[in-house]
């Protein structure tokens, strides 16, 4: 049933990347070398970690929303499966940002995940617009 995995993975990513937010708060406000951390606010791994935090939470919430919509609206089964998998593939974006920040991995997952999420969102919008009114 398309949608259930999106809700589960969405909440998992939301929780994980909220934890990243706690790490960022610690580094900014409490860590012994917080002045160095603050000085690097807009560059390098610090910037990328913030980007992963923001996109991980957002894409997690988008997956929850996609999952709920797929469970509630009568989207044709084939389209619903594709939309579900594309939204899940969108979670590769914050993973890719994290891998780039931590290990210098190439940004291929960032672009693949971003493109997948855009396609899933637009496809779901078109599918919703195409539904017949119940009245």
pLDDT for the residue 134: 58
Of the candidates 61, 56, 57, 36, the one whose C-alpha atom is nearest the C-alpha of residue 46 is 36
Q: Does 80 map to a domain?
A: yes
Domain tally, the chain: 1
The domain in which residue 93 lies consists of: 4-129
Query: Model-level pTM?
Result: 0.90
pLDDT for the residue 26: 87
From the first residue on, what is the mean pLDDT of each consecutive set of 10 residues in the chain (135 residues)? 95 96 87 83 82 95 98 97 98 96 94 98 97 71
Q: Does 119 map to a domain?
A: yes
pLDDT for the residue 41: 76
Q: Does 135 map to a domain?
A: no
pLDDT for the residue 63: 98
Q: Does 134 map to a domain?
A: no
């Amino acid at each position: 049933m398309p949608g259930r995995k999106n809700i589960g993975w969405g909440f998992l990513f939301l929780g994980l990347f909220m934890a990243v937010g706690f790490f960022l708060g610690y580094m900014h406000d409490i860590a012994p070398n917080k002045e160095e951390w603050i000085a690097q606010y807009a560059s390098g791994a610090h910037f990328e970690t913030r980007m992963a935090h923001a996109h991980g939470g957002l894409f997690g919430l988008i997956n929850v929303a996609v999952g709920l919509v797929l469970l509630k609206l009568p989207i044709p089964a084939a389209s619903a499966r594709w939309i579900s998998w594309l939204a899940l593939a969108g979670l590769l974006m914050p993973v890719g940002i994290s891998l780039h920040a931590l290990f210098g991995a190439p940004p291929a997952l960032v672009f693949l995940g971003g493109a997948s999420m855009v396609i899933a969102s637009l496809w779901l919008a078109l599918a919703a617009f195409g539904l017949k009114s119940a009245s």
